[in-house]
Amino acid sequence: MTQDLSTPVGGAPTMGASPTGASPSAGMPTRRPPAPPWRQRLHHWDVTLSPYLYISPFFLLFLVVGMFPLVYTAYVSVYDWDLIGGQGEFVGLQNYRAVLDNPYFLKSLVNTISIFVLSSGPQVVLAVVIAGLLDTRLRASTLWRMSVLLPFVVAPAAVAIIFGSLYGDRYGLVNEALGWIGLSPVQWHVDRLSSHLAIATMVNWRWTGYNALILLAAMQAVPRDLYESAGLDGAGKVRQFLSITVPMIRPTVIFVIITSTIGGLQIFAEPRLFDTTPAQNGGSDRQFGTMTMLVYDFGWHLRDLGRASATAWLLFLVIIVIALLNFALTRRVRSLGGSR
């Protein structure tokens, strides 16, 4: 967040080719006069062409594995495209219509957003608190930092299996524990909100420590003298935390939310493995079916790659819209909270 991306990279304009120098595509110097000696021309080419040489492997590969699929998804989405039979007739926007008309589309969208909200909201609050606790002069601070990061090394599939074993509807440990304290069991795979909570727990468990460390970094950048003067004014630790630390790290909080948007909206492994049998697809009534699961469902269960692609594109649009909303929010918060 410290770099302004719109300025030319590299900073000082002292090096390399002169600004008026040859454009690499033209390859010929524009200023004719004294023809540069061979060595110098070689050096010139070295300077102008090398950057392209450095970035081109990345861009070439990225075009194949990053850009081509996105564009080609759009192509597939306007065709009848069977998983096994392959490309069929051009059908225009019919696949999009079929997806939008399918009641599961809206359901998956709502589920995805609900799980996302349930997982990022409490997670950020908890992460702020943990970061605040870590931002003290702890003994063995690195050990503590590593410890909170522990769940991050467990893959989502493993997380889903571990938590799945706890959230059985009838014979699970969580329900038994609820029974010990006199509560009635929860239908974790049936009740829509409960299933979202169960899945959000998995996400929160894995990511809270990670985000706490990001927030910790932001907290450590808060000038210490702010606290000292607050301390002189008699503000307690908690008070200082709420009135100084939290406002100061607000941009980072937004950053954390944005980065988790892209991943969070694509959630797949956790809900997929939360199903009680592989024949299901996010619960009997799609209580916890997500958008990415719908892509998988269309493509690999119903074997219709056309509709799968249309769903993927729609999900992409949703992500863009939400990311833009976030971006607008960030700018607002930035202008409100001063620069940092």
CB of 51 to other proteins, least distance (A): 4
CB of 136 to other proteins, least distance (A): 4
How far, CA to CA in Å, does 18 sit from each of 12, 33, 50? 12, 16, 15
Neighbours of 131 (CB within 10 A): 26
What's the CA gap between 336 and 328, in Å, rounded?
Answer: 12
Query: Measuring CA to CA, which residue among 115, 108, 111, 114 is closest to residue 307?
Result: 108
| Amino acid occupying residue 320 | I
DSSP string, 129-152: HHHHHHSS--TTHHHHHHHHHGGG
Dihedral sign for Cα 170, 176, 180, 182, please.
negative
For other proteins, give the closer residue by CB, 166 or 178.
166
- Name every residue whose Cβ is closer than 8 Å to that of residue 199 and which is 6 or more positions away in sequence: 115, 119, 267, 270, 271, 274, 288
CB of 163 to other proteins, least distance (A): 7
Is the distance from CB of 251 to CB of 334 less than 8 angstroms? Answer: yes
**Residue 285: strand, helix, or coil:** coil
CB of 120 to other proteins, least distance (A): 16
CB of 278 to other proteins, least distance (A): 4
| Amino acid occupying residue 207 | W
CB of 86 to other proteins, least distance (A): 8
What's the CA gap between 314 and 266, in Å, rounded?
Answer: 12
CB of 147 to other proteins, least distance (A): 4
The crossing angle, in degrees rounded to 10, of helices 305-337 and 68-77 is 130
For other proteins, give the closer residue by CB, 86 or 121.
86
What's the CA gap between 318 and 337, in Å, rounded?
Answer: 28
196's tokens:
């979202």
CB of 130 to other proteins, least distance (A): 6
C-alpha of 118 from chain center = 15
What's the CA gap between 163 and 154, in Å, rounded?
Answer: 12
227's tokens:
């606290």
For other proteins, give the closer residue by CB, 89 or 285.
285
For other proteins, give the closer residue by CB, 117 or 317.
317
For other proteins, give the closer residue by CB, 40 or 243.
40
CB of 65 to other proteins, least distance (A): 5
For other proteins, give the closer residue by CB, 118 or 148.
148
For other proteins, give the closer residue by CB, 118 or 264.
264
For other proteins, give the closer residue by CB, 118 or 282.
282
With tokens 């690195």, the residue in question is 142
Is the distance from CB of 197 to CB of 118 less than 8 angstroms? Answer: yes
